[in-house]
Amino acid sequence: MSPVAVSHDAIVIGAGFAGLYAVHVLRDKQDLDVLAFDAAGDVGGTWYWNRYPGARVDIESVHYSYSFDDELQQEWHWTERFCAQPEILRYLDHVAKRYDLRRSIRFNTRITSLTWDDAESVWRATTDGGETHTARYVVSGAGTLSVPKKPDFPGVEDFAGEVLMTGNWPHEPVSFENKRVGIVGVGSSGIQAISEIAKTAGHLTVLQRTPNYATPIANAPTDPEQEAAEKADYSAIRDASRNHFLGVPYSEVEPSALAVDPQHRRRVFDDRWNRGGFRLFIDSFGDILFDKAANDTIADYIRERIHERVEDPATAELLAPRGYPYGTKRPPLETDYYEAYNRPNVELVDVKSNPIERVTSTGVRLADGTEHEFDMLILATGFDACTGPLLAMNITGRNGLKLTDHWADGPQTYLGLMAAGFPNLFMITGPQSPSVLYNMPLAIEDHVDFSVAAIQYLREDGKAVIEPTPEAEAAWVAHTNELAQATLLPDSPTSWYMGNNIPGKPKRVLVYLGGAPAYRAKCDEVVSNGYEGFELSAAPSNTPALAQA
Ligand code: N01
């Protein structure tokens, strides 16, 4: 006999930045009966799982934080310009306590399927504990980078030493002392981890396939004067952030790297390099992501800086990215990353020309038969980004339509928020929204606010169901693909932005590249035109009203 379903107004997936805010707004502002689920043991989302050494935010903490409550942003003190993972987790713990959120969250519980029940107009969620819960609305805060990529080389289970994943790091302290450590992957996670692990490992071998364009983060302790000035002007800072492509209040971008002379260009690059963070990427020249010749100027600059920092010219050349444009793989930010290769205990191995064939009981064997022996193997090999977390939930919409089938050729969404055939399922920072190309907490607030306003609109209008039309969805998909074609992004051979880090995943752009301000204007227009592109309908007459409606 199937278990009795527990009914709610809304189910929230996840207890990271998105899930916490969604619970707060739906429960405390809309007065709905809400239950959230998270497979993790506590709040934090990505910051719960990614606790590897060196894990740190790369948008300034003062910007990478909630803006919805001025008291919260005034009372919280960040100790560093770019805070490390433990401090972000403390912040989310503070948020959970401050708004009493944990009582509405079921931890250590994974949603294993979500099925739309057309007769009742509700979602049925099953959990790995065998329970069933129903709700009219589902708000997914399942994240964008929360499903680690499965190793695409065999033998990991044969390794006799420890295997660690940056995306699912142990809670207990890990010692690297006197150990031979191997690490695969030089994305943002690998680069942060390598810089730290190099300091204490007996021997660290970095197995690098595609070198990355990493640039300095320029972290520093919080300057009290600057903090006071920012807090005095926080709402203006948030406005400026929301009106910026990446969601940060930077305003010094110049139109074209090709319109200025080489001395001017060098001055701008040096200035942004020294000031750190994403300034070089997003606040130098506006055409670097659109014009290959402009991109070449910054790619040359970064290669030159790498050669200055790495003592051995052959190692420096191996670390210098070539053959794909800067910014088409998500640029990592670093502290002393390149200097790590000047240490005698750090070795760089090229696994592009000589790929990993398999993991053995003692280490890693490369295609030419070379063996590298390790006591510990670290996989920093990335994520099934953006679509992975949603597809992992086994979602079935109207008429038995599976999300895996609907998205077989890549994501199909309207506004990156909802999909046709999947009513009342709000995908916070979903594929084809600005999400990872925007400031996540702000992107999350925008999406949760949109979803909650839609639910409120339905309730006030005597309706219960919202769903995009197939036409609106098709137009959005075409628009996001068209935007990507105008950039250099499709030129990257292995970028998770395009889904091509995962063998067999359709090569489609996973983010909206028109920038957050244009995206928000489109969402506002949709709302002011009475939810243009959506169909709004009543629930069948025999179904119960929402608990508090
Ligand atoms: O993952 P990645 P990540 N053999 O996909 C390599 C966010 N983030 O976890 O490029 C050898 O970037 C792969 O090589 P290649 C941020 O948005 C943020 O590092 O495919 N190598 C690559 O080097 C980031 O972009 C922060 O050739 C293999 C690496 O593994 C996103 O998360 C910190 C391989 C994967 O890099 C993902 O970053 C950390 C193989 N078979 C993460 N398979 C902040 O700072 C894969 N690789 C906030």
Q: Where are the domains of the chain?
A: 6-147+385-537, 149-212+332-382
545 pLDDT band, cuts 50/70/90, is: low
pLDDT of residue 4: 78
Q: Is 60 exceeded by the pLDDT of residue 2?
A: no
What is the residue with the minimal CA distance to atom 8 of ligand 1? Answer: 188
Who lines ligand 1 at CB under 6 A? Answer: 56-58, 145, 152-153, 166, 184-190, 192, 207, 209-210, 330, 351, 356, 380-383, 436, 494, 496, 501
Q: Which string of DSSP letters, residue by residue, matches 307-323?
A: HHH-SSHHHHHHHS--S
Helix (H) or strand (E) holding 267: helix 262-275
Give every CB contact of residue 72 below 8 A, 6+ residues apart in sequence. 66, 95, 98
d(CA 392, CA 263): 50
Q: How many CB atoms are closer than 10 A to CB 344?
A: 6
CB 53 within 8 A of CB 197: yes
Q: Is 60 exceeded by the pLDDT of residue 151?
A: yes
d(CA 248, CA 233): 14
Please give the class, per CATH, of domain 149-212+332-382.
alpha beta
- Name the average pLDDT for the chain: 96
Q: Is 60 exceeded by the pLDDT of residue 127?
A: yes
CB 513 within 8 A of CB 487: yes
- Count each helix (H run) and each strand (E run) in the chain, helices first: 17, 20
d(CA 85, CA 61): 11
d(CA 278, CA 103): 37
Q: What topology is assigned to 6-147+385-537 in CATH?
A: FAD/NAD(P)-binding domain (3.50.50)
pLDDT of residue 1: 43
Instruction: Give tens-digit pLDDT for 315-339.
Output: 999 999 999 999 999 999 999 999 9
Query: Which atom of ligand 1 is found nearest the CA of 145?
Result: 32
d(CA 413, CA 510): 11
CB 389 within 8 A of CB 46: no
pLDDT of residue 408: 97
Closest by CA position to 270, among listed 282, 279, 258: 279
User: Tokens in use for 361?
Assistant: 């009981």
Q: Is 90 exceeded by the pLDDT of residue 541?
A: no
Query: Which atom of ligand 1 is found nearest the CA of 333?
Result: 45
- What average pLDDT score do residues 29-45 get? 98
Closest by CA position to 509, among listed 488, 487, 490: 490
d(CA 446, CA 242): 9
Give every CB contact of residue 354 below 8 A, 6+ residues apart in sequence. 366, 367, 368, 370
Distance from the alpha carbon of residue 491 to the mean position of ligand 1, in angstroms: 17
What is the residue with the minimal CA distance to atom 25 of ligand 1? Answer: 330
- What average pLDDT score do residues 360-386 get? 98
- What average pLDDT score do residues 277-285 get? 97
468 pLDDT band, cuts 50/70/90, is: very high
Q: How many CB atoms are closer than 10 A to CB 487?
A: 17
Q: Is 70 exceeded by the pLDDT of residue 546?
A: no
d(CA 267, CA 271): 6
pLDDT of residue 549: 39
- What average pLDDT score do residues 351-366 get? 98
Q: Are strands 122-127 and 132-140 parallel, antiparallel or unpaired?
A: antiparallel
Helical pair 234-242 and 224-232, crossing angle rounded to 10 deg: 80
Distance from the alpha carbon of residue 186 to the mean position of ligand 1, in angstroms: 6
pTM: 0.97
SS3 content of the chain, % helix, strand, coil (to 5): 35, 20, 45
Distance from the alpha carbon of residue 191 to the mean position of ligand 1, in angstroms: 9
Q: Is 80 exceeded by the pLDDT of residue 442?
A: yes
Instruction: Give tens-digit pLDDT for 215-234.
Output: 999 999 999 999 999 999 99
213 pLDDT band, cuts 50/70/90, is: very high
294 pLDDT band, cuts 50/70/90, is: very high
Token pair 């996989």 in the structure block, residue: 379
